[in-house]
Structure formats: C-alpha cells, structure tokens
C-alpha cells in the first residue's frame, strides 16, 4: 500500500504503534477497517471518515448497504 505501508487485512500500517494509529491521525485507538473501524465517538469526524474510506479502498473493502438505510 503506497499511502499506508504495511497495511493488509490482517496487519496495521507499519508506522502504527501503541501510542498512535496512522488511520486515527495518531490517536491512541486502532481504526483498522478489519479490526473494528472508527469508534462511535468519531463517526462524525470527517477526517477520520476520510482516512477510513482511503484505507478501505486500499484494501478493496466495499461497505454493504444496510437494509432500510438510504444514503
């Protein structure tokens, strides 16, 4: 992954550590798309959502529509 070196569906970005997650803009939370994603407290954070979308795209992950929810 060019923008996220080391990122795979199983592994975090190489620069992530216990002090901060690259996908969380350095916050001490893991925002990995396959390990929980963006915590509820950050669902309205546009920067967190943008990084999450870029990471999902890099991994080829497409969100499934939720029944009864329209965009």
pLDDT tens-digit profile of 18-62? 999 999 999 999 999 999 899 999 989 999 999 999 999 999 998
Contact 58/3 with Cβ under 8 angstroms?
Answer: yes
Does residue 61 contact residue 52 with C-beta atoms inside 8 Å? no
As a whole number of angstroms, the distance between CA 41 and CA 59 comes to: 24
Could you tell me the pTM of the whole model?
0.81
Report residue 2's pLDDT band, with 50, 70 and 90 as the boundaries.
Answer: confident
Token pair in block for residue 58: 């890099």
d(CA 17, CA 69): 35
pLDDT at res. 64: 77
Number of CB atoms found within 10 A of residue 66's CB? 7
Give 17's strand partners: 20
């Amino acid at each position: 992954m060019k923008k996220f070196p080391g990122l795979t569906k199983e592994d975090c970005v190489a620069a992530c550590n216990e002090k901060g997650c690259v996908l969380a803009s350095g916050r001490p939370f893991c925002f990995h798309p396959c390990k929980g994603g963006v915590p509820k407290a950050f669902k309205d954070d546009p920067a967190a959502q943008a990084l999450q979308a870029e990471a999902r795209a890099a991994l080829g992950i497409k969100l499934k529509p939720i029944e009864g929810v329209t965009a």
